[in-house]
Amino acid sequence: MHDQPNQERALAVVLDEDPDVVAILSLQLHLLGMESRCCRRTVTLLDEVAACRPQLVIMGLESEDPDGIALLRKLAEQQYPGWVLLLGGVERKISRIAERVGQTLGLQMLGSLDKPMRLAELRQRLGGLRFGREPAIVPESDPFFSAEELERALEQGELTLHYQPQFELVSGRLSGVEALVRWAHPEIGLIGPASFLPMLTPGQSRRLTGHVLQLALADAERWQRLDLALSMSVNVTADDLMAPDLLARTRHRIPGASPPVVLEITETAAMDDELLGSEIAARLHLAGLEVSVDDFGVGFSSLSRLQMLPISELKIDRSFVRHLQDDTQDAAIVEAVALLGRRLGIRVIAEGVEELDCLGLLARFGCTHVQGFGLSRPVPAEAIPGLARAQSPIRASIAASGASPGSTP
């Protein structure tokens, strides 16, 4: 592929104290089809952001005066609309806090990239966004969507679902799927949710959930008719859960609620005071819906508060799973969450399983389910029945590790 003219390439501004880090990142961004500008001081970065409006800021947290977290505040004050990717190099705990601070301030955070930076990881991080030369889902194009385009997507049913398979560790069988929304844009192609979910108004976001539920439940019914017992997980926000029509939409669809419909809500959203104080928890339970706490482990939630929701599943955030094999702190967290799940008698699913050699450890810790690119990427609905009948990718791997998986509630 040829290089594009400069003015059409997305721009990243990179801040790190270490000139080698900056040089490597510039090269990697170039390989991914992006322009970059480098800064060694936070004041310069703020000036660059104000002057050039880059689509992406990549920043180390170790800069001085202001420090990385203060810098995030300044970017938010400037109402920086692009993406922010943090650079590792500080304790992971600190980058996680910084990520949460950025999210709370309304910045579009892309997580943090470990040092030394690997091109594959950078590509993956940027893959769902609308820039870069070899994106996972979306080809290059203008960075932002207009309100009219989003409206058209909702009205004309351009939003479709892909399903990521979930496997039960003890049997290796395909036990369920997570519905993940994609925008089948007529000119651009498939666009990942990170590129458009943050741009939806609250009203559009509710309509999106309605549309997603409708598609997901129709597919679930179809699979049920084929005798495939697959749970269906759908991502919802706290706002969705409190909307009066959510229960009505789901109630009549799956008689007997078996296999279950699972509403995934992030740990942070699950702690919403209004949600916990509402009658919704009890009504979800009465309607036979299950709740999974997504991205569990990053929100530091209080268990007494979590118990106010009818939780059937804890979903361990993939940032803990990624380094499971070589980070003892992450392994300790995964083990503790698995133990907690076992005590509560609920499922514990590890997401983001990329390497199958961590399955043995996950099984030994007592995780009950797994999902991740290493087992299957999200696929269109048509591929699911075939996957359910295919040889499980898990059995051989668990057997080879000699682990005996925990029992499944």
Closer CB to Ca ion, 371 or 401, in the complex: 371
Partners of 192 in beta bridges: none
Closer CB to ligand C2E, 26 or 312, in the complex: 312
DSSP 401: H
Q: Report yes or no: 137 and 128 within 8 Å, Cβ to Cβ.
A: yes
Residue 79: how many CB atoms within 10 A of its CB? 8
> Cα separations (Å) of 401 from 95, 335, 391, 395, 397?
32, 17, 18, 10, 6
Contact window for Ca ion (CB under 5 A) among 55-63, 87-95, 295-303, 326-334 = 295-303
**Whole-number Å distance between alpha carbons of 102 and 84:** 8
> Is 330 a binder of Ca ion (CB under 5 A)?
no
> Is 294 a binder of Ca ion (CB under 5 A)?
yes
Q: CB of 28: closest distance to ligand C2E in angstroms? A: 17
Binders of Ca ion among 262-281, rule CB under 5 A? 264
Q: CB of 104: closest distance to ligand C2E in angstroms? A: 16
Contact of residue 259 among ligand C2E, Ca ion, none (CB under 5-8 Å per partner type): none
Contact of residue 372 among ligand C2E, Ca ion, none (CB under 5-8 Å per partner type): ligand C2E
Closer CB to ligand C2E, 192 or 405, in the complex: 192
Q: Report yes or no: 248 and 192 within 8 Å, Cβ to Cβ.
A: no
Helix residue ranges, H only, 113-201: 119-127, 147-155
Q: CB of 19: closest distance to ligand C2E in angstroms? A: 29
Pair of tokens at residue 194: 């990170």
Q: CB of 333: closest distance to ligand C2E in angstroms? A: 17
- Positions in the binding site for ligand C2E (CB under 6 A): 124, 128, 164, 180-181, 192-194, 197, 212, 235-237, 264, 294-295, 318, 352-354, 372-373, 378
Per-residue burial over 20-49, b if 16 or more Cβ lie within 10 Å, else e, is: ebbebbbebbeebbbbbbbbeebeebbebb
Binders of Ca ion among 215-254, rule CB under 5 A? 235
Query: Which residue shows structure tokens 């996972």?
Result: 136
Q: CB of 323: closest distance to Ca ion in angstroms? A: 16
Phi first, then psi: what are they for 375, rounded to 5°?
-100, -50
Contact of residue 249 among ligand C2E, Ca ion, none (CB under 5-8 Å per partner type): none
Closer CB to ligand C2E, 81 or 111, in the complex: 111
**Whole-number Å distance between alpha carbons of 369 and 331:** 16
Q: Report yes or no: 34 and 11 within 8 Å, Cβ to Cβ.
A: yes
Q: CB of 272: closest distance to ligand C2E in angstroms? A: 14
Sequential DSSP letters for 180-203? EEEEEETTTEEE-GGGTGGGS-HH
**Whole-number Å distance between alpha carbons of 125 and 111:** 8
> Is 99 a binder of Ca ion (CB under 5 A)?
no
Q: Which of 16, 140, 240, 295 binds Ca ion (CB under 5 A)?
A: 295
Pair of tokens at residue 244: 């009066």
Closer CB to Ca ion, 135 or 372, in the complex: 372
Closer CB to Ca ion, 180 or 344, in the complex: 180
Q: What is the largest CA-CA distance in the chain?
A: 62
Closer CB to ligand C2E, 37 or 96, in the complex: 96
Q: Report yes or no: 370 and 389 within 8 Å, Cβ to Cβ.
A: no
Closer CB to ligand C2E, 132 or 378, in the complex: 378
Residues that bind Ca ion (CB under 5 A): 235, 264, 294-295
